A and B are shown apart, each in its own frame.
Chain A
């Protein structure tokens, strides 16, 4: 009984510090620092809208070379070590894991820059 009370007291003492720490914020490393196509707060809030409208114009109207493009994101933000925006600490995955939002861009788009390895075998 005594041990339980001590344990309870320990939990109660620790609880405020745990709550203050919360979930650690994502630690992002910008591989190619410089100016993005828009200020950081706007990019954080609106990047998905920018990409969505670009994707529709590119696919349906054939407008290429738009300001917001997934390939350009990768060129600046892919990790120098893994070459990808995914993986632990990856530019996209780090924030999306924190916000619990699953980006399904990478089911079809290549998360790495310049590693196209099509072998050209007959399917």
Chain B
């Protein structure tokens, strides 16, 4: 009987110790989670993209020179956009430079325009096959395996960010498959991002006007700059919560 009691006591103390350990784990958990979020930029191979990350880009238009198209060229090189088209309007355009001028003040801006990677993308809403999709980390993509080239998404996009491939292609980048009859757009260089690299345009910008990072991580440079400085979403009235923000327009 007494032995039994001793055993019970030891069991109780064991349970108590386990409970304390449990509290310890609970106290550690927030810290662990923070590390997870910070390290989410570099995922392990085999791990899916998570919504803990929201990829975004900040473009400082005051640094962006009018005649410079380094980002456009870097994008074409990286993604294998090299086809010749008879009609210039049929060329694929993942990123383009646009020049803006306020007719009243004469104030001029030049800025790169690309897929804005909306949180609520209209292209995804209208796609009849489900080819237009948003990844968990906010990157909007086209699943070319099921795209039928109907171009509804091109009509729905307020930013003219998508284009259709009109010609058969041959020399694609193995990491960026592209083909005739599919709609395509900027992917934030998703094949590079998945390896922990920056998009090609960001790397190529000679003025460092483009900044890429995780909007969800309060310690990331992009999140800190967006918190500190005034930034603009193009057509913010559409309430699409864009992944791309501009500074200085």
Residue contact B80 to A118, C-beta cutoff 8 Å: yes
B179 proximal to A (CB < 8 A): yes
- Cα of A82 to Cα of B72 in the assembled complex, Å: 33
Least CB distance from B168 to A in Å reads: 7
B109 proximal to A (CB < 8 A): no
Given A61-B49, A107-B168, A110-B177, check contact A119 B82 (CB 8 Å): yes
B195 proximal to A (CB < 8 A): yes
Binds A, one of B138-146, B154-162, B208-216, B229-237: B138-146
Residue contact B73 to A62, C-beta cutoff 8 Å: no
Least CB distance from B99 to A in Å reads: 15
Q: Looking at the complex, which one of A56, A109, A113 makes contact with B172 (CB distance below 8 Å)? A: A109
Chain A minimum-CB-distance residue to B80: A118
Residue contact B194 to A122, C-beta cutoff 8 Å: no
Least CB distance from B36 to A in Å reads: 16
CB neighbours (8 Å) of B179 from chain A are: 107-108
Query: B residues 187-206 with Cβ under 8 Å of A?
Result: 190, 194-195
Residue contact A59 to B74, C-beta cutoff 8 Å: no
Q: How many residues of A contact B (CB 8 A)?
A: 28
Residue contact B144 to A108, C-beta cutoff 8 Å: yes
CB neighbours (8 Å) of B43 from chain A are: 62
CB neighbours (8 Å) of A123 from chain B are: 76, 81, 83, 85, 91-93
Residues of B within 8 A of A (CB): 43, 45-49, 69, 72-74, 76-83, 85, 91-93, 133, 135-137, 141, 143-145, 168-169, 171-175, 177-180, 182, 190, 194-195
Contact sample, A vs B, 11 pairs, CB 8 Å cutoff: A62-B48, A62-B137, A63-B46, A118-B76, A118-B81, A118-B173, A119-B77, A120-B77, A120-B82, A123-B85, A123-B92
Contacts beyond the supplied A107-B180, A108-B144: 15 A-B pairs with Cβ under 8 Å? A59-B141, A60-B133, A61-B48, A62-B48, A62-B137, A63-B47, A63-B48, A64-B195, A108-B179, A109-B172, A117-B171, A119-B77, A120-B74, A120-B76, A121-B82
